[in-house]
């Protein structure tokens, strides 16, 4: 919003909004997931949740920082104290590779641990089979197997019913908001599809599923995106409701569920038994894809909101240190942005008058004085606009050094 090109804020270009909308929705998603995961840790939740968080939070961070580099452009590659992105960009490989390399986490840990910890029967079945007393093991295993088969049949029935009812019959939490209800129904539908697909894959491939890392990774992606979608809806329903929060939540949850849908379809496309894959796909998606990615209108909405003061911006900023020191790299931009909010009407009026040829002077100070004389701005606006322009120019400067070190 501070930087302008062709007499328009750079952030209003739709190509830029495509990146800034992802940044806005991604920041919202990351905070929602952080709160869910830390609550889960406090409650002693299984480690699979932290594996999901580690992988998807760091991968999302990588995407958002890259978007930030695109938006800030050449200014972001000039290293020095004024650059607020370079150090974060350089640190990305650390987040991706340390404390569980992301390739390993996605391919082996998320679904590998998730299938064992989250399945209602699988862990007990394996524990039973490892008993020393063979007769007692078989006696205990039969009821578990029957219950497991009933679970698979129930999931298959739910998948069909939810798919054909689109999915009006899918359950929702009793205390969810009207906004969240539709999305929870989709989560219930995709959850049933995931459960059925995972059971079929385990039944057909058995232990080989772990070695089929591409398949197990996709099932892990579905599981993770459903958890992310739940965290977004929970965060939305627990924070103050506003048009801005709803816009961010809708974009973020739509992205998560669209990714879950894509991972399911990719799993079916690559499942080794083609006839069984076609049956599964027909059961889970009897009418085809059910969800589109965020559209252009949503991109424009979030691209505009990220440049405006709004409750979501205030909420997310409340969880991080935000400098207001004009000598700090971030504080310099933030204080200039706040001043822009105060003088923007006068600044835009002056810029428009100048572009239309209503201001003859080339010098800024002389042009502002002329604009005040012609009633385009007030006399009080002149010193404030001069100060804002000084700060604006200072924000755009890169570091320069007398010698290389």
The rounded distance, in Å, linking the Cα atoms of 14 and 400 is: 32
**Please, what is the angle between helix 134-165 and helix 274-284, to 10°?**
50
- Contacts for 325 with CB less than 8 Å, ≥ 6 apart: 331, 332, 335
Q: Residue 5 forms beta bridges with which residues?
A: 8
For CA atoms 174, 179, 220, 90, the dihedral sign is negative
Please report, for the chain, how many H helices and E strands are present, in that order.
17, 2
Nearest to 107 by CA among 265, 224, 217: 217
The rounded distance, in Å, linking the Cα atoms of 185 and 176 is: 11
Integer distance in angstroms from the first to the last C-alpha of the chain?
34
Report the catalytic residues.
99
The rounded distance, in Å, linking the Cα atoms of 294 and 29 is: 14
Helix, strand or coil, per DSSP, at residue 4:
strand
Alpha helices in 243-328 (DSSP H): 243-270, 274-284, 296-305, 311-317
């Amino acid at each position: 919003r501070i930087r302008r090109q062709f007499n328009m804020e750079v952030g209003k270009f739709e190509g830029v909004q495509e990146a800034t909308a992802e940044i806005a929705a991604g920041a919202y998603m990351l905070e929602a997931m952080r709160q869910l995961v830390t609550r889960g840790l406090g409650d002693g939740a299984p480690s699979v949740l932290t594996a999901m968080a580690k992988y998807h939070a760091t991968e999302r961070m990588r995407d958002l920082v890259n978007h930030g580099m695109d938006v800030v452009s050449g200014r972001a590659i000039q290293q020095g104290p004024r650059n607020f992105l370079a150090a974060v960009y350089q640190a990305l490989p650390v987040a991706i590779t340390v404390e569980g390399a992301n390739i390993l986490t996605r391919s082996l840990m998320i679904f590998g641990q998730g299938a064992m910890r989250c399945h209602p029967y699988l862990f007990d079945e394996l524990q039973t089979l490892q008993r020393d007393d063979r007769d007692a093991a078989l006696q205990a295993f039969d009821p578990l197997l029957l219950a497991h088969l009933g679970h698979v049949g129930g999931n298959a029935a739910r998948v069909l019913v939810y798919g054909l009812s689109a999915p009006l019959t899918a359950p929702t939490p009793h205390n969810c908001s009207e906004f969240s209800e539709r999305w929870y129904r989709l989560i219930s539908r995709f959850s049933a599809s995931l459960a059925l697909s995972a059971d079929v894959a385990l039944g057909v491939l058995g232990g080989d599923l772990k070695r089929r890392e591409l398949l197990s990774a996709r099932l892990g992606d579905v599981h993770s995106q459903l958890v992310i979608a739940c965290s977004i809806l929970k965060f939305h329903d627990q924070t103050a409701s506003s048009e801005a929060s709803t816009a961010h939540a809708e974009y973020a949850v739509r992205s998560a569920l669209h990714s879950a849908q894509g991972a399911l379809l990719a799993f079916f496309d690559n499942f080794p038994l083609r006839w069984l894959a076609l049956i599964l796909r027909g059961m889970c998606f009897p009418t085809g894809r059910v969800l589109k990615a965020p559209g252009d209108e949503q991109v424009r909405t979030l691209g505009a909101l990220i440049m405006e003061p709004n409750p979501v911006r205030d909420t997310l900023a409340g969880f991080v240190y935000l400098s207001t020191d004009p000598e700090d790299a971030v504080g310099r931009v933030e204080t200039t942005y706040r001043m822009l909010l105060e003088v923007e009407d006068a600044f835009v009026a002056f810029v428009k008058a100048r572009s239309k040829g209503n201001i003859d002077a080339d010098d800024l100070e002389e042009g502002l004085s002329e604009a005040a004389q012609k009633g385009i701005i007030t006399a009080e606006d002149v010193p404030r606009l001069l100060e804002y322009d000084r700060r604006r120019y200072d924000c755009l400067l890169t570091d320069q050094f007398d010698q290389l070190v």
